Amino acid sequence: MKSDSSRRLNRRLWRAFVIQIVLISASAGVGVYLAEFAIREVLIVSALKREAEYFWARENIDPYTPAPNTHTLIGYLFDADLDTSYPEEFQGLGAGIHDLITPVGKSVVHVSDNNGRRLFLVFDADNIRQLATYFGLVPLTLLLIVLYSSAWVAYRIAGRAVSPLIKLAREVRDLDLEAADTVRLVNTSELKGADDEILILSHALEQLVERVNKFVERERIFTRETSHELRSPLTVIKIASETLLARDDISDANRATADRIQRAANDMEELTQAFLLLARESESGATRERVCVNDIVLNEMSRCELVYREKGLKLDYVDTGSLWVSSSPKILGVVIGNLIRNACAYTEKGHVRVRISDAKVRIEDTGIGIHDDQIKAVFSPYYRVSNARESGHGIGLSLVKRMTDRFGWTVNITSRPGHGTVVEVGFPEADFEPAPRPSTKAAAASF
């Protein structure tokens, strides 16, 4: 399974680093703005108010006190009633603080009145920016450099700390348990700079891989020896049945029995191979070929006709064309055969109908049916419905589920207790040929 690149640890660390830088930068911008605002409101405005109060206090004592005139502060004193004598930039200004453009540049002007006279105190606003730069921006820039450097160093340290973990995770992801050689994990000595916790994890994974290697080896030995040991008696049965069939002095009944033994031995050999393939995790050993589902269905229905002929069931076969899938013929036979046998086993009277259409096989019966709360459980191993009267071990549908999941097929069951059950097997990648089938295999047949 491919991992989501957005959830990788190193990407998440990088994203955290970028977010941290953005937040620091935003905080710096807000800090500069607040510093300039504080300098203006706290220092400049309050200083102008105090300067105006100080001037009026002195002017009350000495009417000839001159207006302030310094490098950064210039005062203008006029009669309040003679507003036409004000400079053009001062006209229309009421008492209070104003920002305006004067001949000396951008300024902050404080206007106040006392005893019929008006004082204009003009402060050079460019000094505010200089103050903000000297006392706000420069220290803040140095602080940002320190913060950015610290964040980068932290990112690098975090990256080095997690890189052994990332390497270890990739090694575990790329493990191939079906490899011919023994599976190996990265050597602990290769995890340079790893912390103790990562080394402990690596050691634990090495032990786990060692145990898995032993399990895999035992599985290989089991499948190899089981295949050999099962084939040997089956070969004896096949040879014995062939010898019987070659004789001319046996009765027709015995010949039919020997023929059934031989066919059962062939089926058992193929089933053994299919089951051993299912026991493996990989499908590399599975033989696939283009199989006609219609032929498999007809073959399995003929077998059921021999087994359940005493019930007097009507086995109907209907198709609208030829359905072809890429599969192992025996595995497909196991899936279809189990479903048809189940339908026959749980149907006491009536019919079992198999219908082949585009990309699916539909098996319906008039049997005892299944309750809704039991449908999901029927695929569980050893499960048998409560109203079942037929003997069995309850592994058929579990086996069907495993095989269909393995090949990407679908199985859906709908049922009504007392009315019957419908099972549909879907083959998403099947080829369907709607042309009529040959006359030797009629489109509708009864067994």
All domains in the chain, ordered by first residue: 9-140 (3.30.450), 176-286 (1.10.287), 289-446 (3.30.565.10)
Give the residue-averaged pLDDT of 179-201.
61
182 compared with 346, residue with greater pLDDT: 346
Q: What is the pLDDT of residues 49-78, one digit of tens each?
A: 888 998 999 888 888 888 888 877 888 888
User: Using CA atoms, how far apart are residues 330 and 35, in angstroms rounded to an integer?
Assistant: 82
Predicted pLDDT at 239:
86
Predicted pLDDT at 446:
45
Indicate whether this model's pTM tops 0.85. no
Q: What percent of the chain has pLDDT over 90?
A: 10
Q: What is the pLDDT of residues 86-120, one digit of tens each?
A: 877 888 888 888 888 766 667 888 899 888 888 98
Give the residue-averaged pLDDT of 146-154.
79
Average confidence score pLDDT of the chain: 77
Q: What is the pLDDT of residues 224-254, one digit of tens each?
A: 676 667 777 888 888 888 888 888 888 888 8
pLDDT band at 444; cut points 50, 70, 90: very low
Give the residue-averaged pLDDT of 203-208.
78
pLDDT band at 2; cut points 50, 70, 90: very low
